[in-house]
Structure 1
Amino acid sequence: MKQALVAVLCCAFINLKAQITPLNLIPQPVEVQQSAGSFALTNKTTISYNKAEAKVATDMLIQRINTATGLMLKAQEGKTGMIQLNLNANTQLGKEGYTIEVTPKTVLVSANEAAGLFYGMQTVLQLLPKEIESKSVIKANWTIPAVKITDYPRFAWRGIMLDVSRNFFTKEEVKKYIDNIARFKYNTFHWHLTDDEGWRIEIKSLPKLTEVGAWRVARAGHFGDRDAPKPGEKATVGGYYTQEDIKEVVKYAQERNVTIVPEIDVPGHSMAAIAAYPELSTTKNPNTFVNPGANIADWYGNGTFKLRYENALNPSDEKVYEFLDKVMTEVAALFPNQYIHVGGDECYKGFWAADAGCQALMKKLGIRHVEDLQGYFMNRLEKILEAKGKKLIGWDEILEGGISPNATVMSWRGVKGGIEAAHLGHEVVMTPTTFAYLDYNQGDNSVDPPIYAGLRVSKSYSFEPVPDGVDAKYILGGQGNLWSEQLPTARYADYMTYPRAWALSEVYWSQKSAKNWDNFSKRMEAHFERADVAEINYSKAAYDAIITAKMKDNKLVVELGSEIADLDIYYSIDDSMPDKYSSKYTQPIEMPDGPITLRVITYRAGKPIGHLITLKRAELERRAGK
């Protein structure tokens, strides 16, 4: 009798397991309990919300559902809907947490605040079939699997930075970018608005900033290798956001629970501002130009550099601080959040060292090192911001020369600056190049256009924002940064953002104990399919082979690997094109002498899936350090 009962229970468990399909949610919730069955969306489905603050998320959910399904669902106030978005008190959830309970009869989404409902709504959309991402009506089995979810974020700051200075993106493109990151529970959009290559925000009291500073001469080709402007050449490439544009984007972001942090990059990276107002620099050169992507600096192997053109504001000139006060007055009025990012990175001080005014200021202040002038500058700027009710945040170079305890630090040169800042009692946002720079190429340099360095999605996923020995209370969270030197279009910006922004969303939102690369990679692949339906571009470099070369006993040895576990790797060294009948990689390959070419491709289930990678012997030897 007992054996029969056990057999029945086992069969029931197997049948239940067969009915439960993976949910593929990104980022991974705190707690998920699946059960059998599902909720079906039909034209009889009703949707309600219990408080006025819940209406925005409810309307967004209905809009997404109706667009893809063709249903004509409408929201109603109250607690009678089959799908309900309710604001209820739950101390466990905090400001951004939520719960979801799906049964065959109801879908209940609850949160303490509107932000939590918004994130719960995004999870409900991920529970629906991938076709929900369609911009037009499509036929699908519109069901939501039965599940209980409890979810809340690990970190308060979950950000993405977009640089619109080096390449300008329109207001509509920026709104779409914000919408897409909000789907993955990012709550901060760092808007890099000014740099050497363009000033992108209207300042009404300083009209030349956009009349001159927003435009550069037309140039094609690789950024950093372009020609400087020629005498008399007109600047026709660029653009800027009016203050009405800014207000519109801020409102759009607020509706998606995204805070916009503007960046006005000073004192360095100010060439566009100086082109508009040359008197802001030490040399006051009237021929200063907005950089079209020319190489304006000599970089040395130890990270130091020398600028050929002046791009830093003059810290000894009181008119510079009058300029900054005008700029920050208008910026502060446009952005309601508490922070204004002031840059502070890569400030070349050679022109300061040669300037009599700067030398006189150093003597007056009793400072011996020109580097300390940046600390003076930042402290002056911080007082300007404080007078407008704002907090200063900047890249980790702002630690050089001393800053006030109230300043917040973004650690980009690895995590070292963040560790130092936290030990000094500063709040920190971790955004190191080694894990979070989305402009770095994602695969092999022979496939993706090479830039400063590479960063694979698995490396981003491995990031831990709280370093050992650091009090976690000082780590606000983290951020991915997308610089736009090599981003000619918004679609390519998406390609560089995803899937690494999906990986970082899980780093910043999900519990540390939930991290599992093999599990994430499967969910990532499911989101490839969703992105295809949504027409969002992304990189498939995770399918490509990883090729490592080294010298061993004076022989060139190559090792092949992949980020995704279940791929087969095939290669050739005989000038044939590899396929599944070629040599299959099983162990390191000792390259024979001679002018060989290595060709590598990945397969899954007998079908090619990765890019063909072709490397000549000279490149392999270079990678081996020979």
Structure 2
Amino acid sequence: MKKLLLLFLSLLIFNIGKAQNSAVNIIPQPVEIRQLSGSFQLKNGQSISFNKAEARSVAEMLAQRLNVPTGFSLKAQQGNAGAIQLIINENDDVKIGKEGYILNVSPQKITISANAFAGLFYGMQTLLQLFPKEIESKKATKANWSVPAIKITDYPRFVWRGIMLDVSRHFFTKNEVKDYIDQIAKYKYNTLHWHLTDDNGWRIEIKSLPKLTQIGAWRVARTGHFGDREEPKEGEPTPYGGFYTHEDIKEVVQYAQERNVSILPEIDVPGHSMAALAAYPELSCTKQKVHVNPGTAFSEWYGNGTFKMLVENTLNPSDEKVYEFLDKVFTEVAQLFPNPYIHVGGDECYKGYWAQDAGCQALMKKLNIRHVEDLQGYFMGRVEKILEAKGKKLIGWDEILEGGISPKATVMSWRGVKGGIEAAHLGHDVVMTPTTFAYLDYMQGEPTIEPPIYAYLRTKKSYSFEPVPDGVDAKYILGGQGNLWTEQIPTLRHAYYMTFPRAWALAEVYWSPKEVKNWDNFAKRMEAHFQRNDISEINYSKAVYDAIIRTSRKNGKLIIEMESEIAGLDIYYTIDDTMPDQFSTKHDGKPLELPEGNITLRVVTYRNGKPIGHLIALKRTDLERRIGR
């Protein structure tokens, strides 16, 4: 009996160890994973060694990340005697490139080897994800600080892996931006696209043009839904806003560089310039005074994608003073940001004021162009020459293709992938960031529950994105990014709610080989990261647990279809004005024909007998409105 008991315990311990080893929940999924037997135990008194000076900062960062939650006093030291060893290769491993790494975990030690700092940093991020979730604690806590034995070889699919943060609609402090950088760097993003100017605020100090921040960085205080707010009144105080000084920007840029994140600054021109025109109205066609917009309805949008501005927000392309202004702006921007690109916007430029302006008409005649839209090509050509004189390259939204751009310009495809396909066929480098997959400001779940905006995008849809369209040479696709516009995002906590988990899905799209992508596998890892964020107190959305409800009409009857993003959820519903629970009618996966009458459909999801999703309640009128959507 004793022998049988010992054998049983041995098998139990083996299976527990095997189960621990199988719980590898890395996002984004590495290129190669080989799980081994055993585990490494982190202990107080161990050290983190590094072989070259350029690895010191990663070693020190790792020591701090481990010491806070464990309460240990691990130290970084040069040499090769550490229990955790960071190694910059003497000879480059061509397979892993600049940002790749090899992580080896054995019961005796951990080694991360890479060709450069970037690879070591990403190897560190993967290692931290192998520790138990308590590693995300902001204070010392108790846990089994072990890492499963494993070998990982990893490197990115794309060189451009970005997130855009809009700080014009709502200002985020430099410390909030640094915190956001920390969170995206965990998932191997290497670009923060910083949307610094728009109609709603100018956020970067330009010392040669002080009114840009004295006036353009501040607006009247307003609450309520963005786009439905009251117009500013003449003489009304403008307390809401903020901007970054040169010193702030230098600090953030350095902080980002230490995390292998390059910051791409955006100065949005010639449209989206109301904050600049509030400071310098003489740069517009009408030269009329405007206010920094607090979120009023200043435009009319039509069903075919065209629109009309009710207030001028566009720089005058025929005025030489505009280019003198831009030269001053880009001189200071170029000095502050080491990124080889400067983003110049170029999107949603309303040309109605140009069409009515005598100076623009004279310029069109001089250039022998018939269409006012072609003035944008002229404007962008002038801007590109300004940037080139400062050693920078131009990148803009896909509207910069209108009117022609130089072959050296890089295009961000946001209106679907069409602009990216066109740009690639013309030989332009392209960053894919289409609304259909990558817009993080869109609702991510049931529209009657989520904070309202004009479109929605579920995590599963983001995960399905393929950045290289059929028929396009992959060499022109630099990569992609997710875009977080902040009209409806006033706080950093809500920014995280909108960013995650969709940014995790996109991280895997941009980093991992497309052959390893699998939604159900990703979803399990995503849920493990929910738990990590619970401990780190970083907000995220749980909309993936909510039922998806679609409607159609067949033979005059209202038909309801229901499903979930996450496999294994049970959907319960009622149509008798009672609250649904696990004892209500369970959805069998078949279309439901809704009976006639003033009926409210109530739906909730469960897993393993426990509620997990939000309660959704839809009246018949609500259901009819979404037919075919």
- Normalised by the length of structure 2, the TM-score is 0.97
Aligned with 1:202 (options 195, 202, 205): 205
Q: How does 1:438-517 map to 2 (within 5 A)?
A: 438-517=440-519
- Residue equivalent to 2:30: 29
- Residue equivalent to 2:614: 611
Aligned with 2:544 (options 524, 536, 542): 542
* 1:396 aligns to 2:398 (yes or no): yes
Aligned with 1:349 (options 348, 351, 362): 351
- Letter of the 1:235 counterpart: T
Distance 1:456 1:422 in 2: 27
385 and 19 in structure 1: CA distance in 2 versus 1, 3 angstrom threshold: closer
274 and 15 in structure 1: CA distance in 2 versus 1, 3 angstrom threshold: closer
Q: 2:102 touches 2:152 (CA, 8 Å); kept in 1? A: yes
Deviation at 1:44, TM superposition (A): 2.8
Q: How does 1:353-432 map to 2 (within 5 A)?
A: 353-432=355-434
SS at match of 2:225: coil
SS at match of 1:47: strand
Distance 1:232 1:338 in 2: 41
- Letter of the 1:147 counterpart: I
Deviation at 1:17, TM superposition (A): 4.1
CA RMSD, 1 decimal: 1.5
Q: How does 1:593-612 map to 2 (within 5 A)?
A: 593-612=596-615
**Alpha-carbon deviations, 1:546-577, whole Å to 9, x = none?**
00011011100101100001100000000000
- Residue equivalent to 2:102: 99
Moved over 6 A (4+): 11-16
Deviation at 1:14, TM superposition (A): 6.7
Gaps of 5+ in 1: 1-7
- Letter of the 2:350 counterpart: Y
SS at match of 1:20: helix
Aligned with 1:624 (options 613, 622, 627): 627
Distance 1:471 1:18 in 2: 42
SS at match of 1:140: coil
Q: 1:19 touches 1:37 (CA, 8 Å); kept in 2? A: no
Distance 2:389 2:17 in 1: 62
- Letter of the 1:503 counterpart: A
**Alpha-carbon deviations, 1:164-192, whole Å to 9, x = none?**
00000000000000010000000000000
SS at match of 2:204: coil
Aligned with 2:172 (options 169, 174, 177): 169
- Letter of the 2:380 counterpart: M
591 and 117 in structure 1: CA distance in 2 versus 1, 3 angstrom threshold: same
Deviation at 1:90, TM superposition (A): 1.3
- Letter of the 1:332 counterpart: A
Distance 1:273 1:66 in 2: 46
- Residue equivalent to 1:4: none
SS at match of 1:110: strand
SS at match of 2:86: strand
Distance 1:42 1:474 in 2: 47
**Alpha-carbon deviations, 1:90-140, whole Å to 9, x = none?**
111100000011011000000000000000000010000100001100000
Deviation at 1:71, TM superposition (A): 0.2
SS at match of 1:145: strand
SS at match of 2:342: strand
Q: 2:440 touches 2:485 (CA, 8 Å); kept in 1? A: yes
Deviation at 1:21, TM superposition (A): 2.6
SS at match of 1:85: strand
SS at match of 2:436: helix
Q: How does 1:37-48 map to 2 (within 5 A)?
A: 37-48=38-49
Greater shift after overlay, 446-455 or 534-543?
A: 446-455
SS at match of 1:460: helix
Deviation at 1:20, TM superposition (A): 2.7
Deviation at 1:80, TM superposition (A): 1.2
Distance 1:232 1:124 in 2: 56
Distance 1:209 1:44 in 2: 53
- Residue equivalent to 2:250: 247
- Normalised by the length of structure 1, the TM-score is 0.97
125 and 452 in structure 1: CA distance in 2 versus 1, 3 angstrom threshold: same
Distance 2:231 2:628 in 1: 35
**Alpha-carbon deviations, 1:185-205, whole Å to 9, x = none?**
000000000000000000000
260 and 34 in structure 1: CA distance in 2 versus 1, 3 angstrom threshold: same
Q: How does 1:301-312 map to 2 (within 5 A)?
A: 301-312=303-314
Distance 2:147 2:94 in 1: 27
- Letter of the 2:165 counterpart: L
- Residue equivalent to 1:331: 333
Paired-residue identity, %: 73
Greater shift after overlay, 15-24 or 476-485?
A: 15-24
SS at match of 2:248: helix
- Residue equivalent to 1:76: 77
Aligned with 1:111 (options 84, 109, 114): 114
* 1:90 aligns to 2:93 (yes or no): yes
Q: 2:45 touches 2:73 (CA, 8 Å); kept in 1? A: no
SS at match of 2:22: coil
Deviation at 1:43, TM superposition (A): 1.0
- Letter of the 1:390 counterpart: K
Aligned with 2:127 (options 124, 128, 137): 124
SS at match of 1:275: helix
Aligned with 1:263 (options 254, 262, 266): 266
567 and 193 in structure 1: CA distance in 2 versus 1, 3 angstrom threshold: same
SS at match of 1:108: strand
Deviation at 1:488, TM superposition (A): 1.1
Distance 2:41 2:449 in 1: 44
Distance 1:460 1:29 in 2: 19
Deviation at 1:588, TM superposition (A): 1.3
- Residue equivalent to 2:4: none
- Residue equivalent to 1:20: 21
Q: 2:17 touches 2:38 (CA, 8 Å); kept in 1? A: no
- Residue equivalent to 2:3: none
- Letter of the 2:118 counterpart: A
**Alpha-carbon deviations, 1:218-271, whole Å to 9, x = none?**
100000000110122111100000010000000000000000000000000000
Distance 1:412 1:162 in 2: 15
